[in-house]
Structure 1
Amino acid sequence: MFTPRADTDPLEGRFDQLDRSGRMIARLARRPVWPVLAMVLLTAGLAWWFVLSMAGSIVELQGSARPLGPGMSLISRFLPVEPGSLAATIADLCLSADSGLILSSASFPSLAVALFVMWLAMSAAMMLPTAAPMIRTYAEIADTAAARGEPVVHPAVLTAGYMSVWALAAVGFTLVQLAIGHATGMSATGPVRGVIAGLILLCAGLYQFTSLKEACLTKCRNPFTTLFARWKTTARGVFRLGIEQGVWCLGCCWALMLIMLAVGSMNVVWMAALTLFTFLEKTGAGRVTTKAGGAIISVWGAALIWSALA
């Protein structure tokens, strides 16, 4: 956080009273849009690379992409593989659970940590790109405030607050996956099948039609109103603002994230499809995308339930 000098031209100031790092932050904060977008793209890119590397390690260890879910066989040959990397270690831990070690007291904590890291990486890869318009809006407001000589908090603080919500959500997704795996013997890397998969899809599809979904989506589509009305000039206040935006985003997208259980938690083809769908939802002005997606997912879920019980 910084306060530009009052006797300095708001557009051309050199911030001579600050040290080197302070001057760098000040300049970024006065024209923060492109640096912030670069930071978002870099972070999301690293998350995607981690997930892709994990999927590649699983394919290499299993010798096939088929257990990872529909569509993965089409891209399996292009997945990166980094032996000995963190992604490879996490993949190995998840595969160890598929051999029946999930009930072992020694392996259960390791599996839980591995799944949490996987869900956190997935959340960053899928949600940060969709949060870019919100972060850009904050950066533009911060730019205007800095030009007027007002104190401004770096947009990274807002992003950290936003991702803290998804870190907690990753804990919840991990617990859900562990519970389903314990009840069904499901693979830690493959898709859920049968009635449970149908119920997950049906739940996610019907949620698209709820008023809570609509309220959260409205907030996500109009970040300027919330950010401007609740503008903060302290790091704590901006972090809490990021948490609020993260909660709205979670309320909008939690059911869509659960679809990954039905198609395979390491299915990067469906990850990309859901990321694109979520981005279109958040940046669109109408309700067609949301309702159409909900109808398709609901019918899909109902069909799986029918076929499993028939």
Structure 2
Amino acid sequence: MILVAGYLSVWLAASAIFAALTLAVHAFVSSGQMLDPLLGIAGAAALSIAGLYQFSWLKKACLEKCRNPFSVLFANWSARPIRIFRLGMEQGLWCLGCCWALMLVMFAVGVMNVFWMALIGLFSLVEKQTAGNLPTRLGGAILLVWAAALLVVSA
């Protein structure tokens, strides 16, 4: 239970940050200060960041830890509750490091869009369950091409 509390505390903090970002974007867009071309550029930026992150060493390291959580958990297990909580937080950070950029894609495709949430969730599942880098790199390439296309259309 303590391990799960540590893991969920990381995701709760990340959720609060993404919720605040969502509210800020919605306030900015609804105020009329953001023009349509800027929306396309902002979406392309989000897709580009997510696409480039898919090729990074940090994504690879986080994905490796997220794919094999038991090796990390068993190697660092402790009887002390605070260390168990910290271990849960560490695993939560690895998994957040694996997924944060894909969550950023939601700002380009529409926050709370059930179709895109399901598709990104399915991709994350395939990515974590598949050995090797093919899904990760393919996803990154798709995001970068999509970002470029969005920039062309927005210009």
1:198 lines up with 2:44 in the alignment:
yes
How many Å apart are 1:290 and its aligned residue?
0.3
How many Å apart are 1:258 and its aligned residue?
1.2
How many Å apart are 1:265 and its aligned residue?
1.2
1:219 lines up with 2:61 in the alignment:
no
Question: Which of the residues 18, 25, 46 maps onto 1:180?
Answer: 25
Question: For the Cα contact (< 8 Å) 2:41–2:154, is it kept in 1?
Answer: yes
CA distance in 2 between partners of 1:274 and 1:183 (Å): 25
CA distance in 1 between partners of 2:6 and 2:52 (Å): 29
Q: Which amino acid aligns with 2:82?
A: R
Match of 1:160 in 2: 5
> Runs ≥4 in structure 1, deviation > 6 angstroms?
none
How many Å apart are 1:220 and its aligned residue?
0.8
CA distance in 2 between partners of 1:289 and 1:298 (Å): 14
Which runs of no fewer than 5 residues in structure 1 stay unpaired?
1-155, 187-191
How many Å apart are 1:294 and its aligned residue?
0.7
Q: Which amino acid aligns with 1:180?
A: V
TM-superposition CA deviations, 1:178-233 (whole Å, max 9, x none): 332343338xxxxx941111111111111100111111111111212211110122
CA distance in 2 between partners of 1:159 and 1:288 (Å): 30
1:86-235 equivalent positions in 2, closer than 5 A: 156-185=1-30, 193-235=39-81
Match of 2:91 in 1: 245
CA distance in 1 between partners of 2:30 and 2:53 (Å): 27
TM-superposition CA deviations, 1:18-46 (whole Å, max 9, x none): xxxxxxxxxxxxxxxxxxxxxxxxxxxxx
| Alignment length (residue pairs) | 150
Match of 1:274 in 2: 120
Using structure 2 for the length normalisation, give the TM-score.
0.88
CA distance in 2 between partners of 1:279 and 1:240 (Å): 25
Which runs of no fewer than 5 residues in structure 2 stay unpaired?
32-37
Query: What SS is found at the alignment partner of 1:183?
Result: helix
Q: Of the two, which has the highest radius of gyration?
A: 1
1:290 lines up with 2:136 in the alignment:
yes
Q: Give the structure with the higher percent helix.
A: 2
CA distance in 2 between partners of 1:280 and 1:233 (Å): 34
CA distance in 1 between partners of 2:132 and 2:46 (Å): 25
CA distance in 2 between partners of 1:159 and 1:277 (Å): 24
Question: Which of the residues 107, 113, 126 maps onto 1:261?
Answer: 107
Q: Which amino acid aligns with 2:113?
A: N
Match of 2:146 in 1: 300
Identity %: 52
TM-superposition CA deviations, 1:134-172 (whole Å, max 9, x none): xxxxxxxxxxxxxxxxxxxxxx32222111101111121
**CA-atom RMSD in angstroms:** 1.9
